[in-house]
A and B are shown apart, each in its own frame.
Chain A
Amino acid sequence: MTAINKDKEKDSADNAAVSVDSVSKAFAARLVLDNISLGVAQGQSVCVCGVNGAGKSTLLRIIAGLMQPDAGSVRLCGHNIRTNPEKAKPQLGVISHKSMVYPDLTVFENLSFFANLYGVKDSAARVDELLEDVGLSSYRYDRATILSRGLLQRLAIARALVHRPIVLLADEPFTGLDAEACQHLISVLANFTDNGGTTVMTTHDINIGMKCCDRVVVLDRTRLIFDAMMCDIDTISFTQDYLSYARNKN
């Protein structure tokens, strides 16, 4: 990519919803992330783009606390996810392309289970509210196995939001969704951001990324090579640049 603005948002670490400090990770002898730093302010939605194998999922897993970085730290709302998981983890919700719901439990049972895991008070009321929000009320007593991919994704969204997190991580969430399901997810993400939530999303589809988010970051092998707010860039030329960059990479 040529002549791209590198406008880094400098947020004070304490105010940032997500604060990635000098994170590095290597698998066997291969360096995947090299000294990555990223600060995401409250209410921002960031799209992390990159070609396959760029390290997007690894970065997201490290932010979620599922993987330990070789160096550096991650803080969610000021709490270090490794040393203070009891405070950090309840702030976080994760959506991935796998639904992470139990196939043999009903929709209601699945959500109640996760509500209990997070210690949500009045879990039954909360679950009902969520089912309304995602449009799954009529499937309340149906087992998760019978749900279609789109409905399963709605259940996954409900699962991610059951404990009212402040930060939402989405790892390639649009994979395998039809147009209607995509639309629904986009509206959920928009709603989440409107209510003050912070989103970090990874995708290799730059168009959807730009639609949903107000900040774009490109991860290339081990480094962040691009970081700018959507309002500061010209969408068309950026898309062209990105696509030719992606073509060169493959």
Chain B
Amino acid sequence: MRRILLCLAFTLVLLSMWMALTLGRIEGPSANPDSVVRNILYAHVPSAICALLCFAVLLVASIGYLWTSKPKWDRLAAASAEVGAIFATILNATGMIFSRAEWGPWWTPSARLITSAILWFLYIVYLILRTASLPGSQHRRAQICAVFGIIAFLDAPMVYISARLIPDIHRPNFSFGSSWQRVTFVLGMVATLLLGAVLIWLRTEILKNKARLEKE
């Protein structure tokens, strides 16, 4: 079952990438119409949604752990943090590439860029907390990570609101040109979400097996 879903996810991702470059291809800027760089949006937007969803999963898992102290919630939190961090990295990287190609600078302090950057930081600090050799038991470490996870989740919307207070010079203005582009976008979204969910699931399974091995 796992293998099927994983293959399906990867196939969909590859398919959407192919479609992005062919049928749903977005034209480059008028100065350089053959540039493929704008197609990076197909990766950028789904990564953003996925990173945010992983954060929501992290919140639920953190609350679950504090409520029940059951290790499965802790494993879910670890898995979603790792997957979320990957998507946050992709989000920032694709954003910077797009920004460079479209407007010149690699990074500008606009609302979305600041939010993506701090989202990335929040994930990274969470992962550092996870892997740091904290004194105390496993339970204590899981508890600390859960507390940070909840506070970090509350921080994310605060980041967005505070960044929105700054007048945004570069507000990406995008609308779909053709229906193929719409299809490609939806496909890309579905593929990314599926990939994210499968990766979290797989990672949770690995952690569960690791815990079982350590018990024996």
Contacts and interface: CB of A to CB of B under 8 A. Distances in A.
- In their complex, do chains A and B touch, with some C-beta pair under 8 Å? yes
Contacts of B137: 27-28
Sort A-B residue pairs by CB-CB distance and give the 5 closest, nearest first. Answer: A29-B215, A28-B138, A27-B137, A28-B137, A29-B214
Nearest to A30: B215
Contacts of B138: 28
Interface string B111-142: 00000000000000000000000000110000
A-side interface mostly: loop
Interface string B76-92: 00000000000000000
5 contacts: A27-B137, A28-B137, A28-B138, A29-B214, A29-B215
A28 B141 CA distance: 12
A28 B138 CA distance: 7
Q: Size class of B's contact patch?
A: under 10
Interface of A: 27-29
Interface in B157-216: 214-215
B65 to A, nearest CB: 14
Nearest to A27: B137
A227 B214 CA distance: 35
A201 B135 CA distance: 28
Nearest to B214: A29
B146 to A, nearest CB: 15
A133 B185 CA distance: 80
Contacts of A29: 214-215
A223 B133 CA distance: 32
Nearest to B69: A68
A29 B212 CA distance: 10
A27 B214 CA distance: 13
A26 to B, nearest CB: 10
Contacts of A27: 137
B138 to A, nearest CB: 6
Nearest to B216: A29
B113 to A, nearest CB: 43
A105 to B, nearest CB: 27
A29 B138 CA distance: 10
A27 B215 CA distance: 11
Contacts of B214: 29
A87 B215 CA distance: 39
A29 B215 CA distance: 6
A62 to B, nearest CB: 15
Nearest to B138: A28
A77 to B, nearest CB: 28
Nearest to A28: B138
Contacts of B215: 29
